[in-house]
Amino acid sequence: MIIVEDVHKRYKTEHGVGKWVLQGISLTIPPHLNVGLIGINGAGKSTLLRIIGGADYPTKGRVERRCRVSWPIGQGGLEGTLTGRQNAKFVCRVHGHQEDLSDRLAFIQDFSELRESFDEPVSTYSTGMRSRLQFSLSLAFDFDVYISDEVTAAGDASFRQKAAAAFRDMADRAGLIMVAHDEGTLKEFCQSGIWITEGNARWFDQIDDALKAYKESFAR
């Protein structure tokens, strides 16, 4: 369960303090539920997602996580001077997986399909190779809730197919909170929805109802 209580967020700009992105959002996300965040560009979807995941902090209010929450799938900083293996080792150790380190590393190397490049500096990787490593790292750990912000799998058609299958399996066995602009993706993976508009959030038990309210707002 994740509890979001009276969350406000605004950022500092070169002109001082900017406008409120989020204004007093309060909601409870039950366990084992897949939820889609819906809203126009700039509504604050990614901001709320980062705050829920702990990658950003509210200006006011709080988030209580009564479960293990992932970092955004397919994202995360990589140290360019380190090899793919060294980056993976660091992440594994941070998450307390020293005892099964070799198994985790074997999974990451195999899934990413980096082969010998796994032992080369990340700074030599193409954008696609970095994305494959980041995606594989996200899948190497068991979280109660995964968060996804417009996740895309780089690589050839076979890798994209494999990554999509892994993503579906992950969504079936754990909770998921995702941002996606594609309606089909939201319907495929999410049961419930959160519509963010004018800094506020409305909860919908059914993703179809959230999408309907979102689309109807343009007709007003």
14-52 tens-digit pLDDT? 877 888 999 999 999 999 999 999 999 999 999 999 999
Q: Which CATH number fits domain 2-68+178-219: 1.10.540.10, 3.40.50.300, 3.30.70.141, 3.40.630.10?
A: 3.40.50.300
Q: pTM of this prediction?
A: 0.84
Q: Pick the closest to residue 167 from 183, 192, 150 (CA basis).
A: 150
- Sorted by sequence, the CB contacts under 8 Å of residue 115 that are 6+ apart come out as 109
* Digit-coded pLDDT (tens) for 115-154: 999 999 999 999 888 888 988 988 888 889 999 887 655 6
Q: What is the pLDDT of residue 151?
A: 66
Is the pLDDT at 220 greater than 70? The verdict is no
Q: What is the pLDDT of residue 11?
A: 92
Q: Where in the chain is the domain with CATH 3.40.50.300?
A: 2-68+178-219
Rounded CA gap, 133 and 154, in Å? 10
Residue 5 tokens, joined = 């209580």
Q: What is the pLDDT of residue 152?
A: 57
DSSP string, 12-65: EETTEEEEEEEEEEEEEE-TT-EEEEE--TTSSHHHHHHHHHTSS--SEEEEEE
pLDDT-derived band at 155, boundaries 50, 70, 90: low
* Digit-coded pLDDT (tens) for 79-88: 999 999 999 9
Q: What is the pLDDT of residue 161?
A: 82
pLDDT-derived band at 109, boundaries 50, 70, 90: very high
Q: What is the pLDDT of residue 99?
A: 79
Q: What is the pLDDT of residue 113?
A: 92
